[in-house]
Amino acid sequence: MKLAVTIDTEADAQWEPGVPVTTRNVASWPPFQELCERHDLAPTYLVASEITEDERARDLLTAWVARGAAEVGAHLHPWTTPPYADRPGLRYNDPQHAFPSQLPDDLLLEKTTTLTTQIEQAFGRRPTSYRAGRFGFDRRQARYLADAGYRVDSSVTPLWDWRKYPGLDGAGGPDFRAHSPHPFLIRGSGPRGLLEIPVTLVATYAPLRRRPALLEVYRSLPVRAARRLLLSRWLLPQPMWLAPDPRYRAEDVAAVWDCASGMGISAAVMMFHSSELMPKGSPFRPDAASVADLLTTLDAFFSHVRRVGGGFATLGELAEGVIAGPTPPTRSL
């Protein structure tokens, strides 16, 4: 199994809608990049519009990409990607963080075109990999991306339902509970087609993996409350993300990898946010010690991947490997 480490590369404090758009987290990227290079790993920076306007980000990413130490892809935030519309939820830095899947057709296509052009102009290469902001992905985006020359998306979050997370006009996002972590070709993405390599989420407890209904019960509000009150030391949230979640120890992240490998998944995707690399850049990492813990967790996890025979690839390289093998199934979003 090969691993792509993807970073949603975006402004600071994106969990606080409406705050000024700042990109101070760029200054905190080099220690992470150095860690990746020590492991001979080229991460994939999925870049939001505001990052293309940051001079230091342009300098860092251009240099890393030029020597094959990173890949740059696209990450569409509707509230910071031009153009905008003069209505609530569609204005610049609007307090309503709309899911891309909620945008009107013409505005979605214009934003996709704008972001692609911004990235090509900023970094000298046209992006071929993508993730929708807030994971708000749909078939329209797949078609627009394929037409624009993109090869791979990684927005689907298996076993996860975004409908309870408010976006435009208070409505929620997509429901991906029916999806598995295995790659697939997206039905309806046009003649060029687009490959989906989902973010790796798995139920690490075997009974929950075998019986989806049990997973829904495990995630229900009363059971979650009981777990927090009585069993939080022993029972982790399910499904688990292949991510350096502050609730996870390094061995927990390794367990997600091992579980995915046992399921026969050939292409795994880890994700987190660039703002997590800066103290106070996100609610997950409130201080320098918590950022140091993030890097320590990643260091231990990357060592585990090597130890068990895994390998590393950018998201684009991961897609090439999937396409070169047996034809993936075609599925609807």
Q: What is the pLDDT of residue 18?
A: 83
Q: What is the pLDDT of residue 220?
A: 77
Q: If we measure between CA atoms, which residue out of 205, 184, 183, 324 comes closest to residue 262?
A: 205
Q: What angle do CA 85, 88, 92 make, to 5 degrees?
A: 55
Please state the rounded mean pLDDT for residues 89-95: 96
Asked if the model's pLDDT at residue 234 lies above 60, the reply is yes
Q: Which residue has the higher pLDDT, 211 or 297?
A: 297
Task: Give me 210's structure tokens.
Answer: 């075998």
pLDDT in tens, 106-133: 999 999 999 999 999 999 999 999 999 9
Please state the rounded mean pLDDT for residues 73-98: 97
pTM: predicted TM-score of the whole model, two decimal places? 0.96
Rounded Cα–Cα distance for residues 333 and 331 (Å): 7
Q: What is the pLDDT of residue 310?
A: 98
pLDDT in tens, 170-212: 999 999 999 999 999 999 999 989 999 999 999 999 898 888 8
| pLDDT bucket at 17, cuts 50 / 70 / 90 | confident
β-pair type (201-202, 240-241): antiparallel
Task: Give me 214's structure tokens.
Answer: 């049990």
Residue 269: what are its φ and ψ, rounded to 5°? -130, 120
Which residue is listed with tokens 């991906």?
176
Rounded Cα–Cα distance for residues 162 and 176 (Å): 8
Q: If we measure between CA atoms, which residue out of 329, 319, 328 comes closest to residue 131?
A: 319
Please state the rounded mean pLDDT for residues 250-255: 96
Residue 272: what are its φ and ψ, rounded to 5°? -160, -175
**Cβ atoms of 137 and 153 closer than 8 Å:** yes
Q: What is the pLDDT of residue 224?
A: 62
pLDDT in tens, 299-326: 999 999 999 999 999 999 999 999 999 9
Cα atoms found within 13 Å of the Cα of residue 203, Cβ hemisphere only: 20
pLDDT in tens, 18-34: 889 999 999 999 999 99
Q: What is the pLDDT of residue 58?
A: 98
Cα atoms found within 13 Å of the Cα of residue 38, Cβ hemisphere only: 12
**Domains in the chain, please, with CATH?**
2-204+239-331 (3.20.20.370), 205-238 (no CATH)
> Which conformational region is residue 40 in: left (phi greater than 0), alpha (psi within -120 to 50 degrees), or beta?
left
Rounded Cα–Cα distance for residues 249 and 296 (Å): 10
